[in-house]
C-alpha cells in the first residue's frame, strides 16, 4: 500500500478537462510544487475550484484553465491576484463567482453526497443574478421560508499540501488555519497530497497528533514527497509566504515576455532549479511565518 510517487508520476494521472480542487487558501498551504508540474505539462482546459491564490494566476498565465469556481482569488497583501485579474477582465476564462460561505457549502454537499445545501447565504445579493443557474427552495416546515439551494461542487481530484505524510496516505497539517482541506479531500474522487516530510509510519495515537490529521488515508490515492513544495505560500511549521517573490511573479501580469522569462527562470527546469534560483533551501526555510 505504498502510495508514494514523484511529481511527474502524480500529475501524469491527470487528464485534460478535469475539475481540480486545490486546497489551502490565498497564499497559504498551496500545493505549488504540484502546480508547477502542471505548468510543465501539456494539461489544458482545466476547471479549477479553490479559495484561490497564486496557483490560479499561474495556471491562467500558462493557458491551462477554461473555468474557475472560487470564493476569492487573493495574495492577501496583494488583494487581487494579478494574473487572475487580467484573465477576469479579459474574460478569457469562465467564472463561477460565489460567496465564500456558499462555496464552503457546495464543497460540503459534495463531501456528504447530497445534491445541494440550503442556505440564506447569497440571498438578497447579486450572486444569484451573476449565476442564474442557482435556484431557491421552499422550507418544508414553513412555506414562507425561501432559501438558496447551493449545488454540490464535486471534484475529479483534489491537490492538497500537508506538513507530513506516510506511505499509506496518513497526513498531518500544522498551523492554525487548516479550515477547508478536509472538504476538498472528501468532495473529490481521488486526492493527491504533496508533503513537506515523509515519515515511515504516522503516529496518530495521541489527540495532539490525531487532530492534525484532517482526512482519512483512504481518500488519498497518491503521496508526493515535496519539501518546500508550498513556496511561495506559507507552510506552517516550516516557512512563511515569500511576499517579495509573489511581487516578482505578480509584476509579470500583462506582459507575455515577462511571464515567459519567469517560467524559464523558476519553473521550466524542475524543483531543484526552482529552489536554487531562490537562493537554496535554507534561504526559503528562513522566511518568517506571518502572525495574525
* 171 and 250, same domain (yes or no): yes
- Give the CA count within 13 Å in the CB-facing half-sphere of 220: 29
**pLDDT score, position 269:** 98
* 57 and 133, same domain (yes or no): no
Position 291 pLDDT exceeds 90: no
Report how far residue 72's alpha carbon sits from residue 56's, in angstroms, rounded to the nearest whole number.
Answer: 10
Tens digit of each residue's pLDDT (9 = 90 or more) over 221-243: 999 999 999 999 999 989 999 99
Position 207 pLDDT exceeds 90: no
* 80 and 189, same domain (yes or no): yes
* 129 and 190, same domain (yes or no): no
Say what percent of the chain tops pLDDT 90: 92
In a domain, 290, yes or no: no
* 238 and 132, same domain (yes or no): no
Q: State the average pLDDT over residues 203-220.
A: 91
Cell of 249: 511573479
Report how far residue 292's alpha carbon sits from residue 274's, in angstroms, rounded to the nearest whole number.
Answer: 29
* 69 and 22, same domain (yes or no): yes
* 177 and 55, same domain (yes or no): yes
CATH number at residue 54: 3.40.1080.10
Position 170 pLDDT exceeds 80: yes
pLDDT band at 92; cut points 50, 70, 90: very high
In a domain, 64, yes or no: yes
Alpha-carbon distance values, 25 to 136, 138, 179, 232, 292 (Å) = 28, 33, 9, 13, 15
Number of compact structural domains in the chain: 2
In a domain, 207, yes or no: no
Tens digit of each residue's pLDDT (9 = 90 or more) over 100-157: 999 999 999 999 999 999 999 999 999 999 899 999 999 999 999 999 999 999 999 9
Report how far residue 29's alpha carbon sits from residue 53's, in angstroms, rounded to the nearest whole number.
Answer: 10
E strands within 93-241?
A: 94-97, 116-119, 135-138, 146-151, 157-165, 171-172, 191-198, 220-225
Q: Which domain holds residue 174?
A: 7-98+154-199+212-285
Alpha-carbon distance values, 199 to 102, 128, 187, 271 (Å) = 36, 46, 26, 21
β-strand 191-198 against 220-225: which pairing, if any?
Answer: parallel
Position 204 pLDDT exceeds 90: no
Amino acid at each position: 500500500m505504498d502510495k508514494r510517487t514523484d511529481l511527474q508520476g502524480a500529475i501524469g494521472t491527470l487528464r485534460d478537462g478535469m475539475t481540480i480542487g486545490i486546497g489551502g487558501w490565498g497564499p497559504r498551504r498551496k500545493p505549488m510544487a504540484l502546480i508547477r508540474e502542471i505548468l510543465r505539462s501539456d494539461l489544458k482546459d482545466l476547471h479549477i475550484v479553490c479559495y484561490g491564490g497564486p496557483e490560479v494566476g499561474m495556471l491562467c498565465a500558462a493557458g491551462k484553465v477554461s473555468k474557475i469556481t472560487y470564493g476569492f482569488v487573493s495574495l492577501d497583501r496583494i488583494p487581487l491576484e494579478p494574473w487572475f485579474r487580467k484573465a477576469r477582465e479579459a474574460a478569457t476564462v469562465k467564472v463561477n463567482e460565489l460567496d465564500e460561505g456558499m462555496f464552503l457549502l457546495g464543497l460540503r454537499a459534495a463531501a456528504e453526497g447530497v445534491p445541494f445545501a440550503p442556505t440564506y447565504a447569497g440571498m438578497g445579493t447579486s450572486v444569484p443574478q451573476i449565476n442564474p443557474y442557482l435556484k431557491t427552495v421552499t422550507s418544508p416546515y414553513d412555506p414562507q421560508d425561501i432559501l438558496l439551494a447551493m449545488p454540490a461542487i464535486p471534484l475529479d481530484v483534489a491537490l492538497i499540501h500537508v506538513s507530513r505524510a506516510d506511505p499509506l496516505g496518513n497526513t498531518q497539517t500544522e498551523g492554525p488555519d487548516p479550515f477547508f482541506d478536509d472538504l476538498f479531500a472528501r468532495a473529490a474522487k481521488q486526492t493527491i497530497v504533496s508533503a513537506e516530510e515523509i515519515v515511515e509510519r504516522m503516529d496518530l495515537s495521541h489527540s495532539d497528533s490525531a487532530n492534525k490529521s484532517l482526512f482519512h488515508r483512504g481518500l488519498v490515492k497518491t503521496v508526493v514527497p515535496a519539501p518546500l513544495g508550498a513556496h511561495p505560500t506559507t507552510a506552517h511549521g516550516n516557512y512563511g509566504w515569500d511576499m517579495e517573490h509573489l511581487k516578482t511573479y505578480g509584476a509579470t501580469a500583462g506582459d507575455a515576455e515577462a511571464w515567459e522569462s519567469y517560467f524559464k527562470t523558476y519553473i521550466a527546469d524542475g524543483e531543484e532549479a526552482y529552489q536554487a534560483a531562490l537562493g537554496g533551501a535554507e534561504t526559503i526555510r528562513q522566511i518568517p511565518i506571518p502572525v495574525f
